[in-house]
Amino acid sequence: MPTPYAAHHERISALFRALSAPTRLAIVELLVAHHQLHVHEIVEATGAPQTLTSQHLRVLRHARLVDRIPAGRSVVYRLADPQIAAILAAAVQFFGDPG
């Protein structure tokens, strides 16, 4: 029998699944650092192919972690909520600085 918190736990689980891929995590880190980026800038920074980057961005959009903003012939992405940066900062603090 589902608990009253089942839907709540499912949303949190979906957030962590969306952040579980290293490329998606790198995209979120880039958006934390730069606030918003064009798709081609994300492709260049991650080194991932355009098609794979688009797939990762779609997962992040569906998880409501990033927003998509049309910008002429391109698209700009930004974090959907500033609290996402706090989640990332907590993870970095937990594991320590990689450098």
Q: Tell me the CA distances in angstroms from 97 to 19, 39, 62, 82, one per residue in order.
A: 18, 27, 29, 21
Average pLDDT over residues 44-55: 96
Give the global pTM: 0.88
Domains of the chain: which residue ranges?
6-95
pLDDT confidence of residue 43: 96
- What pLDDT score was predicted for residue 35? 95
Beta-carbon contacts of residue 53 (< 8 Å; ≥ 6 apart): 23, 27, 39, 42, 43, 46
Question: Yes or no: is domain 6-95 CATH 1.10.10.10?
Answer: yes
